[in-house]
Amino acid sequence: MKRPRENTRKHRHRLPATLALATSALLACGTVSAAAPQPSPDRGNDQPPNGGSTALGDVIPAPTSVDPIPGQRFHIRWNTGIHTPSGNTEATEVGRYLQRQLRPSTGYGLLLNRGEPDRGDIVLKLDGSERRLGESGYRMDVRKHRLTIHATSSEGLFYGTQTLRQLLPAKAESDFPRHGPWPVPAGTIVDKPRFEHRSAMLDVARHFFGVDQLKRYIDQIAQYKINYLHLHLTDDQGWRIQIDSWPRLTTHGGSTEVGGGDGGYYTKRQFTEIVRYAAERNITVVPEIDMPGHTNAALSSYAELNCDGEAPPLYTGIEVGFSSLCVDKEITYRFVEDVIREVAELTPGRYLHIGGDEAHSTTDEDYQRFMSRVLPLVEKYGKTPVGWHEYAKATPSKEAMVQYWGTSTSNEEVAEAAERGNPILLSPANRSYLDQKYNEDTELGLDWAGPTTVREAYQWDPGTHMESVPESAVAGVEAPLWSETLTTSDHIEFMAFPRLPAVAELGWSPASAHDWESFRTRVAHQAPRWQEQGIDFYRSEQIPWSDN
């Protein structure tokens, strides 16, 4: 078992440039269309001498189709420029983001929109006629003298640039200058997501993670084309988002965490910065205010929210199911409305998550009454509700998203919700919960739904996972990371890598590309990238790591 280190970014493992990816196998050279890129036994003899090369298709999530041109490469050079469509701010931002990512390692200027595209340049193109790409897809043509990414939106361009990153040698992820060359294997990739909703969740309530830690995780998930970050902002142990009309929620309710540490919270300014930072990486933040259970931090902050008028003490343990807002009191709904209004104002995205899980201290009847008053409030402030699947029994309107977190593959209420038209977000706890131990010896994490190996996290199909929930009802997948046992960024990374990329691939890649052998080889090739990025990942024995 590997012990995670306690620091965050200070001690980064670094590989010598010559080792980085030098051991990576090239993938097969034939066209791979909507099928898993297959690792090839032979590495070919046209690798550059310094820094190694990646094969087209050696990407996570696996692209929809890959058509390599053997033996040819594009090179990023000192005079390579980046071109973005004129007059489109968002597309220009994508170009600028790519520039910011590649400048530190290459040491090149990668100037933006310097004259007409020239030989050796990278061109980002918006082209509405490429219907087959849908709204979020892209086509990347890599030729000797030009690398072009086509898409119908800036979102598609962004995904193309994230694929491009993975096609460069791993040292491209370095934050200090490295020697080239910077080859990209030639060919064409056509790629688009299987599901619209590809989410990661972080529980910042059980243990608080600061803005920089959140940004670090956002950077990590964005490279795997995750497009939602669900933040579990409130729970029994802490309230983490400033609410002006109820200030004690944070000054008191945010003052501790599991184990009795100092806790913390995001000011509105900080939260807005997180939302902006995520949006720059094509990620929409979904805030969760969990209710009516999981509310001890709020109940402890305001005595009047309790049925008996007495505030309970703050809680620093990890039990669940003991707290409930007082369903009979009018003040409860004033409180909920204030919170929803203020959180909605901070949230440009469509969704607001209202929890609804494990309300074991609320009777069924009270739960229904509570939800029937709260669901319209979410809509009143312009948001679409999301809730853990228990709230399906309150029959939310058919736009509302139902998030399944059970371990069984059948659930009547979820199947009925799907039938009524509710989109279902899948985060089966025995598959995609990143907080579950990898095996019984893993020091971090919980095991109530696990342990869950990398293979188990990968080996399921969201389109057929649940009885009577057809693929057409599935909005996508989420990988939640609960933080009862996690206190540092290293802990987050150790639990998320390599399982987060596994769930990301299930959300993005076509079912026909789903292949464990291919995935484990490609994930092994991510290791040198993670080392460059300082990610403290779990060296699962199921993966043929080749970097050490």
Q: Among 196, 358, 379, 413, which one carries the catalytic annotation?
A: 358
What gap in Å lies between CA 380 and CA 374, rounded to an integer? 10
Is 358 considered catalytic here? yes
Q: Which residue number, 358 or 366, has a Cβ lying nearer to ligand NGO?
A: 358
**First CA to last CA across the chain, in angstroms?**
16
* Cβ contacts of 251 within 8 Å, gap of 6 or more: none
The answer to whether 396 and 422 have CB atoms below 8 angstroms apart is: yes
Angle at 106 between CA 104 and CA 111, to 5 degrees: 85
Strand arrangement of the beta sheet that strand 138-143 belongs to = 32-33, 65-76, 182-191, 138-143, 146-151, 121-126, 82-83
CB of 435 to ligand NGO, least distance (A): 5
Q: Which residue number, 370 or 433, has a Cβ lying nearer to ligand NGO?
A: 433
CB of 449 to ligand NGO, least distance (A): 7
Q: Which residue number, 141 or 484, has a Cβ lying nearer to ligand NGO?
A: 484
- Containing 505, the helix (H) or strand (E) segment is helix 499-508
Q: Which residue number, 155 or 484, has a Cβ lying nearer to ligand NGO?
A: 484
Q: Could you give the angle at which helices 499-508 and 516-524 cross, rounded to 10 degrees? A: 130
CB count in 10 Å sphere of residue 369: 16
What gap in Å lies between CA 250 and CA 261, rounded to an integer? 15
* Sites of contact with ligand NGO (CB under 6 A): 320, 357-358, 388, 405, 433, 435, 446, 482, 484
CB of 128 to ligand NGO, least distance (A): 40
The per-residue DSSP string of 93-162 comes to HHHHHHHHHHHHHH-----BS-SS--TTEEEEEE-TT-GGGTTT-EEEEEETTEEEEEESSHHHHHHHHH
Q: Which residue number, 404 or 530, has a Cβ lying nearer to ligand NGO?
A: 404
CB of 403 to ligand NGO, least distance (A): 8
CB of 407 to ligand NGO, least distance (A): 10
Copy the structure tokens of residue 368: 């229904």
Q: Which residue number, 183 or 254, has a Cβ lying nearer to ligand NGO?
A: 254
What gap in Å lies between CA 307 and CA 297, rounded to an integer? 15
CB of 169 to ligand NGO, least distance (A): 38
Q: Which residue number, 21 or 426, has a Cβ lying nearer to ligand NGO?
A: 426
Copy the structure tokens of residue 527: 């290791």
Q: Which residue number, 246 or 482, has a Cβ lying nearer to ligand NGO?
A: 482
Beta bridge partners of 66: 32, 189
What gap in Å lies between CA 96 and CA 42, rounded to an integer? 37
DSSP state at residue 27: B
Q: Which residue number, 181 or 406, has a Cβ lying nearer to ligand NGO?
A: 406
CB of 503 to ligand NGO, least distance (A): 15
CB of 440 to ligand NGO, least distance (A): 16
The answer to whether 213 and 231 have CB atoms below 8 angstroms apart is: no
Phi, psi (deg, nearest 5) at residue 216: -60, -45
* Cβ contacts of 190 within 8 Å, gap of 6 or more: 63, 64, 65, 67, 132, 133, 137, 138, 139
Position 458, amino acid: Y
Q: Which sign does the torsion angle of CA 94, 99, 105, 106 carry? A: positive
Active site residues: 358
